[in-house]
Chain A
Amino acid sequence: MKVKIAMVLRYVILILGGIIMLMPFLWMLSTSLKTQPETVKIPPIWIPKQLQFSNYIDAFKAAPFAQYFLNSIFVTTVTTVGQLFTSILAAFAFSRLNFYGKNIIFVIFLGTMMVPVEMLIIPNFVTLSKLHLVNTYAALIVPWLASFFTVFTLRQNFQSVPDQLYYAAKIDGASDWHYLWHVLVPISKSTITAVTVLQVIGSWNSFMWPLIVTNSENLRTLPVGLQAFTGDAGTNYAQLMAASTFVILPMVILYLFLQKYIIAGISKTGLKG
């Protein structure tokens, strides 16, 4: 009996907590489908009389969201692919090759991971303006094409791959390059997927850097565009919630499909971080 009560209590707490966690999402969806007068009804209504899907179309047209979407997709894709490429190469060098200065370089990079990136914004902005890259796609992408954090995670994974595979590939006459892309990378698929998904989410949601290095409307990514839109939308909460929904939705879908990898990625990187 006591055991049963404890079990019921666990579920009660978890369900109540779950409702609190979901509430903002439900409220966002509900508001996004309301008419303007319905949004300000007290007591609030959860299911509008008629679902106003037109709010989504109106919001999408009220600002250049199509452009923002393209920008976000482009920047996220190039950043993620580029970062993955540079990190895989570097992680291979750190895990499989011996070279002068290996430990020193590795320790220096570990140290840089402790420095808050917010501190680096100022000199990076100066560097980019010297290169005449401020307010270009390059400014949004180039500084993020390498991440020591990703290198570190991949290196851990590469090191766990048995050496025998490497020697076997060598005996078969495979070059290091061939071994890396045809043996090591396929074997490390799950870790690579995990860091990729985390990187996609990070790029998609990134705000401070795009806010600072872009000022023309046609270069804005979704978060920056949405923030600008809040000023124009004013008190039109139905449209604002519709816009928030379509900014959030792609990452929620990605999460629901690749949850396994995201959780694994956080467990691995979070624990080692």
Chain B
Amino acid sequence: MLNEKPTLKSTAKAFLYLLPMLLITVTFNIYPIIKSFMMSFYTKYDFFTDKVSRIGWDNFKFIFSDPDFHIAVKNTLIFVVGVVPLTVIISLVIALLLNKIKWLSGLFRTVYFLPFVTSTVAIAQVWHWIYNSDYGLLNYFLSLFGVNPISWLESPKYAMLSLIIMSIWKNLGFNIVLFLVGLNSINERYYQAAKIDGANSWHQFTNVTLPLLSPITFLVTINGVIGSFKAFDQIFALFNGNPGPSKSALTIVYYLYQKFYTEWKYGIAAASGVVLFFMILVVTVIQLSYSKKHVHY
């Protein structure tokens, strides 16, 4: 049956199986993709009646000259650069250490992964309290080293840093798990061969582990970049429904949310969504072509 040619009958049957999934995804995934691109050109739009009375490039002209959107793009990029490389390096180090120990390794894995299953909103309240400038735990620890209290969440200088620290903490476990899978799949023989050739542990790491781990590193990086591009929940929760002090944590998705939900400017919100789409597309394409050249499978 598997190698048989499709017939009208088999097609009809398959579509019966696909129908529930198609019904939902066409309505809530496929159609809205097309619709968002269209909406980004609606410059006069009545959402109650879904009547479009003017179309054009005005929404894009607006966001490209909107200082808030510039801030949002800048902050999103800062967030990505702040979160992704550190997350990749720290989770790789932890995974390497976990891979070398036997006793308690299960317990450590459980602990490091725990933040991943928590509700972002709930855990952000905890971080909000840790970052409290008067009674927070962080400033207390820093005071032991003679550091003056820092207004983590109230000062535009530190707001982004607070957000980055919390996000790294939350996502570490996910990447550690992926790195551990990668490390486990490396054949022990490569290390034996390297040892016979007289390679020390550093050379084994740079010449065996890193190259063979590159598909995972690549995947973790892509996941991280795309996830960070879409930051919203953690910002909303950490700054209690604000994009940080003087917009210091305003990201593209937060901008989209504001334009759509608080200002009801659907066309402009859709245009910012389209920009986000292309940013993610460009990153994916760059990374894919890079990996074709440099990732060793």
Contact = CB atoms under 8 A, between A and B. Distances in A.
A46 B178 CA distance: 34
Interface string A214-246: 000000001110110011000001001101100
A21 B223 contact: no
B142 interface: no
B17 A92 contact: yes
A8 B229 CA distance: 39
B277 A119 contact: yes
Interface residues of B, number: 98
B112 A266 contact: no
Interface of B: 1-2, 4-6, 10-11, 13-15, 17-18, 20-25, 27-33, 35-36, 39, 47-48, 50, 93-94, 97-98, 100-101, 104, 108-115, 117-123, 125-130, 132, 134-135, 137, 140, 169, 172-174, 177-178, 181, 216, 219, 223, 226, 229-230, 232-233, 236-237, 240-241, 253, 256-257, 260-261, 266, 269-270, 273-274, 276-277, 280-281, 284
A241 B129 contact: yes
24 contacts: A18-B108, A21-B169, A27-B137, A44-B135, A86-B21, A89-B21, A90-B22, A92-B17, A96-B2, A97-B14, A119-B273, A120-B32, A122-B266, A146-B29, A170-B1, A176-B13, A205-B121, A207-B121, A212-B261, A227-B241, A240-B129, A241-B126, A244-B125, A247-B122
Contact of A207 (B104, B120, B219): B120
Given A146-B25, A251-B118, A116 B233 contact: no
Main secondary structure, interface of B, reads helix
Interface in A1-58: 7, 10-11, 13-14, 17-18, 20-25, 27-28, 31, 39-44
Given A108-B30, A248-B122, A266 B21 contact: no
Nearest to A254: B117
A75 interface: no
A13 B93 CA distance: 10
Contacts of A163: 2
Nearest to B94: A17
A22 B28 CA distance: 38
A191 B43 CA distance: 47
Contacts of B130: 23-24, 27
B101 A14 contact: yes
Interface in A145-180: 145-146, 148, 151, 163, 166-167, 170, 176
Interface of A: 7, 10-11, 13-14, 17-18, 20-25, 27-28, 31, 39-44, 85-87, 89-90, 92-93, 96-102, 105, 108-109, 112, 114-116, 118-127, 129-130, 142-143, 145-146, 148, 151, 163, 166-167, 170, 176, 201, 204-205, 207-208, 211-212, 222-224, 226-227, 230-231, 237, 240-241, 243-244, 247-248, 251-252, 254-256, 259, 262-263, 266-267, 270-271, 273
B112 A39 contact: no
Contacts of A31: 129
A86 B22 CA distance: 9
A205 B119 contact: yes
Contact of A208 (B27, B36, B126, B257): B257
A176 B9 CA distance: 14
Contacts of B112: 17-18, 21
Given A89-B20, A109-B25, A112-B29, A122 B269 contact: yes
Contacts of A262: 117
B274 to A, nearest CB: 7
Closest 9 CB pairs of A and B: A119-B273, A146-B24, A99-B14, A123-B32, A123-B35, A90-B21, A93-B17, A99-B11, A223-B121
Nearest to A207: B233
A222 B119 contact: yes
B272 to A, nearest CB: 9
Q: Which of A102, A223, A227, A259 has the most CB of B within 10 A?
A: A227
Contacts of B1: 96-98, 166-167, 170
A248 B123 contact: yes
B17 A240 contact: no
Contacts of B110: 256, 259
B276 A10 contact: no
Given A7-B101, A43-B140, A97-B14, A115 B33 contact: yes
Nearest to A159: B2
A231 B240 contact: yes
Contact of B273 (A28, A122, A237, A240): A122
Given A98-B5, A226-B125, A122 B100 contact: no
A122 B223 contact: no
Given A227-B236, A273-B219, A118 B98 contact: no
